[in-house]
Structure 1
Amino acid sequence: MAAVFGHGDLRLYLLSLLDENPLHGYGIMQALSDRTGGTYTPSAGTIYPRLAKLEGEGLVTKRRDGRTTIYEITDAGRAEVRARAHEIDGIQEGLSDSVRLIADGVRQNVREAMKSLRADLAAAANAPHRDEADTEDPRASARAQLARAEGSLSAFRASVRADLRTHIAKGGAVPSSLIDELQADLDGVIVRLREGLTRD
């Protein structure tokens, strides 16, 4: 947390979030993650005690909406937000700097991945094709196919990583269901690969 929020900054930023609109606990955690470009994803153990303290100070109230607890800022909380608006602006600038650093890191990772991919593709292009290798050296053929596979995996990894980091840096959310689907697809690819290797 220290890398993103200074001492007391998280408390004030929570108030500023609730000044925009009421939120439930998970919504607050998600908003913090989105606004920091994924650099800070707080735990429930971090957020709820601070909300309870803000409630004890009379700056926040909570109400039940079915099974969900909604937190709302009070007039006293709004007064503190107004009085400390310049501090909130400074916190927001710091968060924007964090997002810019993420974007810079994404660009650097993409450049490195593309450099590696070009090297892998060059190695694969210089390797004998399967038909030629089959008549000459089965191990040479296997190495050529390995190079092709590694090139494809490097390109896939670079693309997924760049897309996710760029999306997060722009404040976008990444649903866990989407990553679950990705994991299931990758598990299926592994199964098919192993089945194909067993047939050979």
Structure 2
Amino acid sequence: MSPVFSHGDLRLYLLSLLDESPRHGYDLMQALSDRTGGTYSPSAGTIYPRLAKLEDEGLVTKTVDGRKTVYEITDAGREQLEARRHDLDGIEAGLADSVRLIADEVRGSVRAAMKSLQADLAAAANADRESAKRSPQPESPRAQARAQAQRADAAIAEFRVNVKADLRSHVARDGDIAASVIDDLVATLEGARQDLLRALRG
């Protein structure tokens, strides 16, 4: 998975967000997610250590507002931001490219999972046909239909488990998931359901 921010770029981008207005940590995380179309949703463990470092360097200050800690850029922070304005422009340009790459990678993973499921179902269907040929006493149509429904249940359950595991693993690595990727998954699943209904109707 391609990183959204290169080393050191995130702290500069945080400064640019604080230059727009004071923000608390969650607001910064939400702003980063919004600016990247949901493909980058950093964890608190990613944001707060960088904010603490910026505070240690005198580039930001923090004040407690109720239960929230609000961060604000200092004059020194603005000076550094201005001095690195060219770098920030490059970050924003690279950010757009990285977001597109991430979305493409995740979308490709979803499609690969769907192809793998289709291949597994086809292999199982072939195995069942071979088994049926060797069976001396074929089952009744109702029993066969029940067996196929159970196979479908098992395949759907396995797919669900695998997708959940893939998504959780991806998120645990601070990965990001674009809404368009999930939209594609939902559309693909609905398309598979409609294909099934057409096949059942003959």
Q: 1:165 is paired with a residue of what secondary structure?
A: coil
Q: Aligned partner of 2:152: which letter?
A: R
Aligned counterpart in structure 1 of residue 149 of structure 2, from 136, 145, 154: 145
Identity %: 54
Q: Aligned partner of 1:83: which letter?
A: A
**Inter-partner Cα distance in structure 2 for 1:83 and 1:24:** 25
**Inter-partner Cα distance in structure 1 for 2:59 and 2:111:** 47
Task: State the 1:132 CA deviation.
Answer: 0.9
1:10 is aligned to 10
Q: Aligned partner of 1:62: which letter?
A: K
Task: State the 1:22 CA deviation.
Answer: 1.6
TM-score by length of 1: 0.58
Relative contact order higher in (CA < 8 Å, ≥ 6 apart): 2
Kindly provide the CA deviation profile for residues 111-147 of structure 1, in whole angstroms up to 9, marking residues without a partner as x: 33443454537966x879x96152xxxxx56642233
1:53 is aligned to 53
Aligned counterpart in structure 2 of residue 132 of structure 1, from 141, 151, 162: 141
Quickly say closer, same or farther: Cα 1:131–1:12, change in 2 above 3 A: same
**Inter-partner Cα distance in structure 1 for 2:122 and 2:177:** 25
The 5-angstrom pairing of residues 4-83 of structure 1 reads 4-33=4-33, 35=35, 37-39=38-40, 41-44=42-45, 46-83=46-83
Quickly say closer, same or farther: Cα 1:169–1:52, change in 2 above 3 A: farther
How many residue pairs end up in the alignment?
Answer: 160
TM-score by length of 2: 0.57
- 5+ long unaligned stretches in structure 2: 133-138, 168-175, 183-202
Quickly say closer, same or farther: Cα 1:4–1:109, change in 2 above 3 A: closer
Quickly say closer, same or farther: Cα 1:96–1:143, change in 2 above 3 A: farther
8 Å Cα contact 2:106-2:177 kept in structure 1:
yes
**Inter-partner Cα distance in structure 1 for 2:12 and 2:51:** 11
Quickly say closer, same or farther: Cα 1:158–1:34, change in 2 above 3 A: farther
Quickly say closer, same or farther: Cα 1:104–1:53, change in 2 above 3 A: closer
Quickly say closer, same or farther: Cα 1:105–1:158, change in 2 above 3 A: farther
Quickly say closer, same or farther: Cα 1:10–1:165, change in 2 above 3 A: closer
**What is the Cα-based RMSD across aligned positions, in Å?**
4.0
1:89 is aligned to 89
8 Å Cα contact 2:3-2:98 kept in structure 1:
no
